[in-house]
A and B are shown apart, each in its own frame.
Chain A
Amino acid sequence: KAGVTQTPRYLIKTRGQQVTLSCSPISGHRSVSWYQQTPGQGLQFLFEYFSETQRNKGNFPGRFSGRQFSNSRSEMNVSTLELGDSALYLCASSLKTGKSQYFGPGTRLTVT
């Protein structure tokens, strides 16, 4: 069974631009969560989607948004990029809350 895939793997953007990251979960998994990882803040929860509905949201500004499609694939969007948005963005999928989460390789975003 294929694992969680994320595209693109690396991205360089300029301040003020916007970016869209994509995540394809493991087949059959309906829950997709997004996390931001930085050296200073560690791993922080962004949001979780289940069956196309956002179930939970972390403490991030409204510039961070996401959605989930009917095939469970998910995208996250960051608008008006700031230097501090440079991070590794990780996506994880699971069958449902309380079950093991399986992480993708991440998208490394650099904002210049």
Chain B
Amino acid sequence: KQEVTQIPAALSVPEGENLVLNCSFTDSAIYNLQWFRQDPGKGLTSLLLIQSSQREQTSGRLNASLDKSSGRSTLYIAASQPGDSATYLCAVEGTDKLIFGTGTRLQVFP
């Protein structure tokens, strides 16, 4: 049974810092791994999707890496801004469904 864990559960940093959010999963048989952002009371916004054959994806200040063999992914946020404050979720897609981690709640203060 696939289990997805995210560390840390919460993070509070000053504006401008570079951040690393971690995601680990137990079953390496995945199609892809996706990072999402969720603002309070809202739906999810897809940030990056990494196919199982890829090692990383970049979008603006965001970079996500995937190491399937070790069951790990990291989301790197460069030069954090207060607008980055949200909960970040990783999810792995296997043969049948998307399994989500519990999320990292990020607060970036001015």
Contacts and interface: CB of A to CB of B under 8 A. Distances in A.
B46 A106 contact: no
Contacts of B99: 45
Contact of A97 (B31, B34, B45, B46): B31
A98 interface: yes
B96 A56 contact: yes
Contacts of A35: 98, 100
A105 B103 contact: no
B98 A33 contact: yes
Interface residues of A, number: 25
B89 interface: yes
Contacts, number: 52
A100 B99 CA distance: 14
Interface in A34-68: 35, 42-45, 48, 55-56, 58
Nearest to B36: A103
B27 interface: no
A90 B43 CA distance: 7
Interface in B28-60: 31-32, 34, 36, 41-46, 49, 51
B93 interface: yes
Given A103-B45, A106-B42, A42 B97 contact: no
Interface string A84-102: 0000101010000111111
Contacts of A90: 43-44
A101 B43 contact: no
Contacts of B91: 43
A104 interface: yes
B93 A98 contact: yes
A44 to B, nearest CB: 8
B61 to A, nearest CB: 19
A104 B42 CA distance: 9
The 3 A-B residue pairs whose C-beta atoms are closest, nearest first, are: A43-B100, A103-B44, A103-B43
